[in-house]
Structure 1
Amino acid sequence: MRDERLPLVRRHAALRCAVGDYSPLGCNATWAYLSATACPAPDLRRDSAALLRALAILKESRVAHLAEMDAFAARRQVEKAAGRRTPRVTDTAALRFPRWPSAAPPSRLGLIAAVANRHSAFQRFPYPDETLSPDIEVRQLAHLHARLEDCAASYLKALGRPDRRAAAELTDTVHGIHSLTRPGYSPLNMYLLPWLRFANLLTYAASAPFAIEQ
């Protein structure tokens, strides 16, 4: 990726591979975050300097992530020795939810770009057939879908600074979607889990602190 003797298309592909290996926000959302924060002109495929900035941003986050994992492993070793075999739910949240590890607060512009990217995908997600779960009314699914759409639109309209009412609405919507998911295999989960992943990204973006320059 750093070899400026190579064609930009190969270096661009190498960065895509790196994002495939490390994507704390999800692959597409991470790419959108990097594209926005690297400030390419006009895009990463044509800007060698932007490619290097994007790689540096990704590497800095991965270093922070590895440091967090080392600290977690060391803490768990002590806890296991003390008899606590199962980690707390809060201790594993960083492993289960989208988050941008970094020594500094994440970029507001980057998070807005990530949400906008996944919002576009959410609008294209297939809608679940009500026959997949007869105990769930169609209007209940439609209501949650519409609420999540409204939450995303509100976040983007507020440029990443939703008010308390919007944040509370998002929290309630996430709980509503989560309540419809089922443990193990469920046909309905194939539809609801992508909704939930988007909702979790939106929740993180709406609550994350921002870098001073943002």
Structure 2
Amino acid sequence: MRDGEVPLVRRHAALRCAAGRYCPLGFHATWAYLAATARPSPDLRRDPAALLRALEALEASRAVRLDEVDAFAARRRAEKAAGRRTPRRVGEAHGPGPRWPSRTGPSRLGLVAAVANRHTAFRRSPLPDGSLRRDDRGRQLTDLYARLDDCAASYLTNLGHVDASARDSLAETISGIERLVRPDRAPLNGDLLPWLRFANLVAYAAAAPLGR
């Protein structure tokens, strides 16, 4: 990736491979974040300097994440030595789900780009099978889809600024989706789990302490 003698197309592919191995927001959202924060070129395939900036941003985030993993391991060793076998509940800042580890806070521009990328994909995804829409669950799905679309649109329209009512609506939407997800491989999960990942991304982006 850093070798200036390598053709740009191969360096670009190497960066995408790296993002595939470490993608804290999910691959497509992570790539959108990197492309947005590696300005000024919107096309990383044509800008070697932007490629390097994107790689540096990815490596910096991964370094923070590795430090978090090491700190957690050290804490667990100390807890086990003290007889605590059950880990303490992980705080939201370090729990599962989309999050951009950073020492200074994630980029607002990067998060807006990530949400915009996934919002486009969300709008392209069809609602679950039309036969479901005739019953109560179908109406629930239609309502959840519309509410999640509205929440994401509000976030993007306001460039990352979300008021309390929009956050409450987003939290209720996430809870509504979670109630419909089943622990087994239910067919409906194929639609709901991508919604849930997208909703959690919007919720994280709306609440994240921002850097630049």
What TM-score bracket applies, with the shorter chain setting the length?
A: over 0.9
Distance 2:87 2:40 in 1: 41
Question: In structure 1, how many angstroms separate the alpha carbons of the residues matched to 2:119 and 2:43?
Answer: 20
Structure 1 contact 130–137 (Cα < 8 Å) conserved: no
Name the residue aligned to 1:156: 156
- Could you tell me how far apart the structure 1 residues matched to 2:19 and 2:7 are? 19
Q: 1:132, 1:187 within 8 Å by CA — same for their partners in 2?
A: no
What residue identity is the alignment partner of 2:185? Y
What is the correspondence of 1:109-188 to structure 2 with a 5 Å cutoff?
Answer: 109-129=109-129, 137-188=137-188
| Aligned twin of 1:33 | 33
Counterparts of 2:59 and 2:194, CA distance in 1: 27
Q: How far apart are residue 85 of structure 1 and its match?
A: 2.7
Partner Cα separation in structure 1 for residue 90 and residue 84 of structure 2: 14
Seen in structure 2, the aligned counterparts of structure 1 residues 75 and 47 have a Cα distance that, compared at 3 Å, is: same
Q: Where in structure 1 do 4 or more consecutive aligned residues deviate above 6 Å?
A: 132-135
Alpha-carbon shift at residue 88 of structure 1 (Å): 3.6
Of 159-168 and 147-156, deviating more is 159-168
Counterparts in 2 of 1:41-52, with a 5 A limit?
Answer: 41-52=41-52
Change in Cα spacing, 1:78 to 1:132, as seen in structure 2 (3 Å) is farther
* Pair 84,95 (structure 1): closer, same or farther in 2 beyond 3 Å: same
Distance 1:85 1:45, change over 3 A: same
2:42 & 2:195 partners in 1: Cα distance?
Answer: 31
Shift of 1:134: 9.6
* Post-superposition offset of 1:81: 2.8
Q: Structure 2: which amino acid aligns with 1:203?
A: A
For residues 136 and 71 of structure 2, the distance between their equivalents in structure 1, rounded to whole angstroms, comes to 43
Check conservation: 1:178, 1:196, Cα contact below 8 A: yes
- Counterpart contact for 1:133–1:188, Cα < 8 Å: no
Q: Which residue of 1 aligns with 2:90?
A: 90
Once the two structures are TM-superposed, the CA of residue 172 in structure 1 deviates from its matched residue by: 1.0
Q: Structure 1 regions of 5+ residues with no counterpart?
A: none
Q: What is the one-letter code of the residue matched to 2:90?
A: T
**1:111 Cα shift?**
0.1
Percent pairwise identity:
64
> Which residue does 1:13 correspond to in 2?
13
Query: Which one is further off, 71-80 or 190-199?
Result: 71-80
